[in-house]
Amino acid sequence: MDEVTFRPGISIDSAPTLGDMAIETVPGEHVDIRLWTRAGDVESQAMQQLRNIAALPWVVKHVAVMPDVHYGKGATVGSVIAMRDAVSPAAVGVDIGCGMSAVRTSLRAEDLPDDLRRLRSAVERAVPVGFGQHRDLAFDTRDAADWDQFWSRFKELTTSVRNERDRALHQMGTLGGGNHFIEVCLDEGGQVWLMLHSGSRGIGNLLAQHHMAVARGLAHNAELPDPDLAVFLARTPQMAAYRHDLYWAQEYARRNRAVMMRLLCDVLRQHFPQVRFEEPISCHHNYVAEEEHFGEELLVTRKGAIRAGWGELGIIPGSMGTGSYIVRGLGNPESFCSASHGAGRRMSRNAARKRFTAEDLAQQTAGVECRKDAGVVDEIPAAYKDLEQVIANQSDLVEVVAKLRQIICVKG
């Protein structure tokens, strides 16, 4: 599709300069904190986390804070941290490789039935949600190549997860719960899109928890302001083990989304035999990458942030009632070529459950075919930040390619 084709890459010297967005800088103990939002809008817990991160001696240049920033376990969600010869597992999070995939279809709004319940039910039958898993293996060579080689590496993972292979096999191609979702969306031109959000499922969580515990026990982390920010150092066996397991889990997450997207496409083919699909867009937003920034090779962790290099496509979703954006990166070096991963929570899950009811959820998701019961009240749109403001705050990081609104939303 013409409007989402990639642009050629450019060198960092010719990357766009900062736009009109007023970036606030908060001094830190070791490096500064640069925010694509007002510092006064960041909750105190999250700001203290950011100060703790900025005090780490391995952090380079500054901590880049996205406009969807909010408090998270260990490290702040919406933070981009570049380290020299070190990496913090908490700066990735427990859902290693969590991210988004989207694909535009040839269907238009007028091709869809007025009642979308049957289509939603078909999606829910095809893709297990919550703690569910497939009875039979769901993946094949249509989803990705080298499956045998990928699974053969399982035996090389840390011994603490060796007995989880069967669960990992049967969770491949499943959604999970929490803020993970599958959506059928319409863009402003009436074109139908498929979109989903998921990660590395149970196996990624177990690997993350194991390595975070190992890092907390290392002597060089004893005096850190927050034990959860413990790091692995380069050229150590602990770092090598973590990076091995991390990259495998990131690959698991990528494949998991590919399997689900193929299952969703199969559902549409059953209902609309004439449907065609364009190339999918896919991006991690909880991960580690080896990248060059400011003339130096660094380990960059993005927790609740996507890579937004020049011309790179990304996905920034909102809540289950406010739509999403397909964006193209502007390659801003000050953000380490990053952008937000979504709207970001403005209140905790517990706070949302106490404040809102199923009736509130039904009102705020009017027009969307989705669950409207107490089990997903914590995902109510009002628990999230204003997506339009989040997008406006990063106009120097991404440009909008397409705005989507969901008409079906499936959650665990």
Taking residue 57's Cβ as centre, other Cβ atoms within 10 Å add up to 13
Identify the CA nearest to 102 among candidates 402, 344, 397, 348: 402
Q: Which of 70, 210, 211, 341 is catalytic?
A: 341
Q: What are phi and psi of 280, to 5 degrees?
A: -70, 155
Residue 233: strand pairing partners? 86
Report how far residue 41's alpha carbon sits from residue 139's, in angstroms, rounded to the nearest whole number.
44
Q: Beta strand 86-87 with 232-233: parallel, antiparallel or unpaired? A: antiparallel
Instruction: Tell me the residue type at 374.
Output: A
- Tokens representing 134 are 């497939």
Identify the CA nearest to 264 among candidates 99, 113, 97, 101: 101
Q: Any catalytic annotation for residue 341? A: yes
- Tokens representing 119 are 């289509």
* CB contact set of 2 (below 8 Å; sequence gap of 6+): none
Residue 108: strand pairing partners? 191
Report how far residue 249's alpha carbon sits from residue 358's, in angstroms, rounded to the nearest whole number.
35
Identify whether the C-beta of residue 321 lies closer than 8 Å to the C-beta of residue 46: no
Report how far residue 50's alpha carbon sits from residue 71's, in angstroms, rounded to the nearest whole number.
9
Q: Give, in order, the Cα–Cα distances in Å from 151 to each of 147, 154, 340.
A: 6, 5, 32
Q: Which segments are annotated as binding site for GMP? A: 179-183, 285-286, 317-320, 324, 341-344, 411
The burial of 22, by beta-carbon neighbours within 10 Å (0-12 exposed, 13-18 middle, 19 or more buried), is given as exposed
Report how far residue 123's alpha carbon sits from residue 191's, in angstroms, rounded to the nearest whole number.
19
* CB contact set of 217 (below 8 Å; sequence gap of 6+): none
Q: Which segments are annotated as binding site for Mn(2+)? A: 95, 180, 197, 285
Residue 111: strand pairing partners? none
The H or E element containing residue 241 is helix 237-271
Sheet holding 324-329, edge to edge: 281-284, 99-108, 191-198, 181-187, 398-411, 324-329, 313-317
Residues labelled as active-site residues: 341
